Amino acid sequence: MNPGALKLAGLLALVLISAGGMWKVQDWRYGQQLAEQASSHGADLVAISNAAAAQVRADQDKRLALEQRLSSSEQTHYKELSDAQTNQARLRDRLATSDLRLSVLLDQRSTGGCSMPATSGPGGLVHGPIRAELDPAHAQRIVAITDIGDEGLIALAACQAYLREISR
């Protein structure tokens, strides 16, 4: 081989070795940058995950507090409803046993300006508005209507309390 070709082959070998070395140095440098980015990205993901978990815990705590308030409110309204039903049942029982009579005030103008009572009955010394006793069946119906009204009012109050709690 001639000396020019050897020089050229040596120069080519030197260029290839230099290119390979530079390639390896770039690989190390970029590898280190990628490793730093990966660890930074991992730390960011951990921070995001921790923040999301804290938010979920806070939401769960809020929901638990809301459920406890709603449960307490529901128990209160249930107690009011059961008390009203008990009172209505007691009232119906007293009406059924004639222990209690319902009466209504009569309009004194309906007697035609006369001061005579509308019905005849034993005389008495009670001066005041004229009253008429209701038939027990009618009294039972009136009590049933007021019972339904009481239940409706208690249910309305429960709905309003529920809406007030969930809108906080």
Task: Judge whether 134 and 145 are in contact, CB under 8 Å.
Answer: no
Task: Judge whether 96 and 140 are in contact, CB under 8 Å.
Answer: yes
pLDDT for res 130: 82
Phi, psi of 48 (to 5 degrees): -65, -45
Taking only the tens place, the pLDDT of each residue in 3-20 is: 888 888 889 999 999 999
pLDDT for res 42: 92
Taking only the tens place, the pLDDT of each residue in 140-156 is: 888 889 899 999 999 99
- Angle of helix 136-166 relative to helix 3-96, nearest 10 degrees, comes to 160
CB atoms within 10 A of CB 32: 10
Taking only the tens place, the pLDDT of each residue in 55-76 is: 999 999 999 999 999 999 999 9
pLDDT for res 157: 93
pLDDT for res 86: 93
Taking only the tens place, the pLDDT of each residue in 105-139 is: 887 665 555 555 555 555 555 567 788 888 888 88
